[in-house]
Amino acid sequence: GWSLGGMVAQELAHQLEARGLNLERVLLLDSYPQSHWRSLPPATEHDRWLAVARMGGLELPEEQLTENGVRAALRESRSALAALPEEALGICLEQIQQAMNLIRQGDPQIISTPLVLFSAQASQEAGINPADWGPFASSLQVTTVSGSHTDLVNATKVAAAFRQVWP
């Protein structure tokens, strides 16, 4: 799972283990547990537009992380998100806010399945610690991938990272 999807993947692994299934590993793409997000201030309008930009595959400069800036960048990049009707984008923003609130609550359950985390170098440089997952799995293998959070949804970048671990 990428980003929030990594937390979902880890929780799904916990639920599958509780049903008696044995998993080989859980792969996380630049995803970090709730404990990291709890240390941050509440999400802002800026954070919501950053999330929309990243979902559209864009890393934008700070000054462009506004409604007009993100919408223009999405249109320019020909992102499918640029074609969303106003109402749909509003619902998307509400869901992003709810997700940002949820990820600041609770802690992951401990799983016996090993976690494999592909961590963006830019995320680590911003102060995110991949070892935060350590207490929640039987083992943690971290591979640092050059680039940003959105680079970890780039198929070429992910394939290269996987080859580092599984040649």
Residue 165 scores a pLDDT above 90: no
pLDDT of residue 164: 84
pLDDT at position 161 is 87
SS (H, E, C) 89-122: HHHHHHHHHHHHHHCCCCCCCCECCCEEEEEEHH
pLDDT score recorded for residue 41? 86
Orientation of helix 67-77 relative to helix 45-55, angle to 10°: 0
Q: Which helix (H) or strand (E) holds 29?
A: strand 26-29
For the record, the structure tokens of 148 come out as 């940003």
Mean pLDDT taken over the chain: 91
How big is the chain, counted in residues? 167
Instruction: Give the pLDDT confidence of 27-76 residue by residue, as tens digits.
Output: 999 999 988 888 888 888 999 999 999 989 899 999 999 999 999 999 99
Is the pLDDT at 143 greater than 90, yes or no? yes
29: nearest Cα among 163, 166, 157, 167: 157
pLDDT at 158: 87
Reference 30, options 66, 54, 56; nearest CA is: 54
* pLDDT digits 0-9 by tens, 2-37: 988 999 999 999 999 999 999 999 999 999 998 888
Tokens 């992102």 belong to which residue? 79
Please give the pLDDT value at position 19: 97
State residue 17's pLDDT score: 97
Cβ–Cβ < 8 Å for 115, 137: yes
What is the rounded (10 degree) CA torsion for 51, 53, 55, 58? -130
What SS3 state is found at 151? helix
Say what the pLDDT of residue 52 is. Answer: 92
Q: Specify the pLDDT at position 53.
A: 93
